[in-house]
Structure 1
């Protein structure tokens, strides 16, 4: 059996005892379906508005926890509740809103199609534990909607009049992850389809030639104009290290699956460009975005993405620099973001580790980034590579 020497803790135990119970006990909406994510530090509900991202994201997390960590009945029950909410918020054309009220009404929409992408991977993973054909069909429907928008972005909801149309690096990253988890589920369940590989290859090609990556400046720009009109602040020169770390470890995963050194090289480039040279040595944490007006506080999710990205980088390359940074991030994050009394992580801390926002869930925080980091670390530390996570 392969081994990995970079373990900071027992990630499986932490997932099962400190993270998933918080969401099972406080967030799953057994009355209306779906999940309520706006929760204070002890799990009290602050707002019942639902972010539809987390219907799919949470369905993915609970399905993976059931399949890879422990087949707990409460995880399966949570999946059933989450999946049921899709009937309430899916429009006749198959698209999903960004947010809605607790009962699925009062939908609000955004330009991006993240809700559909997360619903696709959630349904795909749920299918692997329930084997209901309608669930797989729904996963494919959401995938096809995303793929169509990706290939024909002009067909998506138009940008507001005061917004210069842009391409977002986050789309490439999310579409790669969508392709990977649809492909993995399809192959595992005897439903292989070349369209998933085709999308994965196209997203990687776009990362290379699309213009987001500047080798001269060693930076990855989040936004690029899709017309001749130049961008203005805040999109102009904005970079999102969290998205770059996500992309880095997704690309490294793809390099491992395909055993392709060129793909791995792109992953390492993204890992090295995620922050300006020396920046992480100064603060040991990941900011939300360069050119962010507030660089003094740090939120939970970029730390999660950076931790698993650096560990995976070390696992593949054995470059001690990556392990050193990963350990710094883990030591700080588990000391200051983690709530060892009530479970889960706080939303935001300052650079000294003082809690700035003690909420465990918000409209943009739910059971996804932290569980996903723990799944990745389980694979690395228990199996010596990332392939179990990618299976």
Structure 2
């Protein structure tokens, strides 16, 4: 029975990935200036030609990861588009060269439009350029990624003034889970890009990645442990809640800011932690992560009345101050799919599989656009579409194809393990 269901789900996942990528390949390439359009309407029509740097980095990463990992995407047009995206980033992302701070958004031809006082544009530039270096063997992309990574670590752990965010007298000292979480994602990326057995095409003859960690004074193992420790500070209420913000020492903060939960975010952190724990064979960490970061957020975040994951919750049951708290967004469901299937890969418990199929059935019946491809991103609580665009400032070629690619890989492994006679 499992073999049949896995096969059905795998077929739908592969078709959805192919449809999603076809949408972006057809509609998002800027042949004049390089890079990608992300403000695309339902049918791919361009409704704004602004370019968001974090989405440029994400799309470069996505193209290169599929190019490296799935043979059907190993095509010249995919890597050529990724190269043009990487070159757009190198030429236009930095606002005040040689300072490393990146723009949040640029004009079509690359003139900076605004800057955010966060590190997320920079983080996704690191992801994209690192994977581009892995896919092509071109050292200058890899070097640029490591150089920017060093600045990010400096901002996080030593001096955040480079982000342009002053410490105000009334501001709350806090740890945001998003910061160690994105760093953990970058560590996995940099580790993969320096591993010559990582599955990338063997295009390099110049020692790409070797010595980069030492050259930039980064100890990825120590940094990874720090990130894990920081993420675990957000597990509160005797392990029953993951809070978005805690004090730097790991204490719960007062007010709605301190009570905020994002179930999809917690589950995303969960599958990052599961992968790292599995690498070192840490069964205790796997079990703890599964309870606190996968099953707990799904149980508290699932809408029993209408289905789907709430966007935000207040841990004490108050109405969250975010007006969109009860909406159903594409990316938390993507993260839930990956987290649940990753959990099942490491602990073959039937309830994990049941919950994966529950999220999968809701997701595939509500978000995909059967007519034009790709997914809608925003639904109301009842599951009705509220916005018809496929991309914008926050949604691009990333969460949907990443989740589908990861699920495809895991489902194929499960089917191989079960065998044809299972």
Q: Return the TM-score normalized by structure 2.
A: 0.83
In structure 1, the residue matched to 2:86 is 83
8 Å CA contact 2:185–2:272 kept in 1: the answer is yes
**In structure 2, how many angstroms separate the alpha carbons of the residues matched to 1:15 and 1:153?**
43
SS of aligned partner of 1:355: coil
**In structure 2, how many angstroms separate the alpha carbons of the residues matched to 1:368 and 1:153?**
30
Report how many residues are paired.
Answer: 381
Deviation at 1:64, TM superposition (A): 0.7
Deviation at 1:255, TM superposition (A): 1.5
2:189 is equivalent to residue 170 of structure 1: no
8 Å CA contact 1:218–1:276 kept in 2: the answer is no
2:118 is equivalent to residue 109 of structure 1: no
> Which residue among 273, 293, 299 is the counterpart of 2:329?
299
**In structure 1, how many angstroms separate the alpha carbons of the residues matched to 2:165 and 2:284?**
36
8 Å CA contact 2:10–2:411 kept in 1: the answer is no
2:371 is equivalent to residue 341 of structure 1: yes
Deviation at 1:215, TM superposition (A): 3.8
SS of aligned partner of 2:328: strand
Deviation at 1:275, TM superposition (A): 4.3
Deviation at 1:370, TM superposition (A): 0.8
Shifted more, 270-279 versus 64-73: the winner is: 270-279
In structure 2, the residue matched to 1:289 is 312
**In structure 1, how many angstroms separate the alpha carbons of the residues matched to 2:311 and 2:343?**
21
In structure 1, the residue matched to 2:140 is 134
In structure 2, the residue matched to 1:389 is none
In structure 2, the residue matched to 1:388 is none
**In structure 2, how many angstroms separate the alpha carbons of the residues matched to 1:15 and 1:186?**
30
In structure 1, the residue matched to 2:230 is 206
Q: Based on CA coordinates, which of the two structures has the bigger radius of gyration?
A: 2
In structure 1, the residue matched to 2:390 is 360
In structure 2, the residue matched to 1:260 is 282
> What RMSD in Å do the two structures reach over aligned CA positions?
2.7
> Which residue among 190, 193, 196 is the counterpart of 1:185?
193
Residues 335-370 of structure 1 deviation map (CA, whole Å, 9 limit, x = unaligned): 220012111000112344322111100110001111
Deviation at 1:11, TM superposition (A): 5.9
8 Å CA contact 2:327–2:380 kept in 1: the answer is yes
Deviation at 1:14, TM superposition (A): 2.4
Go from structure 1 to structure 2 and tell me whether the alpha carbon gap of 1:238 and 1:77 turns closer, same or farther (over 3 Å shift): same
SS of aligned partner of 1:203: helix
In structure 1, the residue matched to 2:246 is 224
8 Å CA contact 1:95–1:145 kept in 2: the answer is no
Structure 2 alignment gaps of length 5 or more: 197-207, 314-319, 416-422
Residues 155-210 of structure 1 deviation map (CA, whole Å, 9 limit, x = unaligned): 332148575453210111111111011011112266264722222111012122x3
In structure 2, the residue matched to 1:145 is 151
**In structure 2, how many angstroms separate the alpha carbons of the residues matched to 1:52 and 1:255?**
31
2:37 is equivalent to residue 36 of structure 1: yes
**In structure 2, how many angstroms separate the alpha carbons of the residues matched to 1:92 and 1:190?**
22
In structure 2, the residue matched to 1:273 is 296
Go from structure 1 to structure 2 and tell me whether the alpha carbon gap of 1:233 and 1:104 turns closer, same or farther (over 3 Å shift): farther
Shifted more, 273-282 versus 199-208: the winner is: 273-282
In structure 2, the residue matched to 1:95 is 101
Deviation at 1:19, TM superposition (A): 0.8
8 Å CA contact 1:303–1:333 kept in 2: the answer is yes
Go from structure 1 to structure 2 and tell me whether the alpha carbon gap of 1:278 and 1:141 turns closer, same or farther (over 3 Å shift): closer
**In structure 1, how many angstroms separate the alpha carbons of the residues matched to 2:326 and 2:225?**
38
SS of aligned partner of 2:99: coil
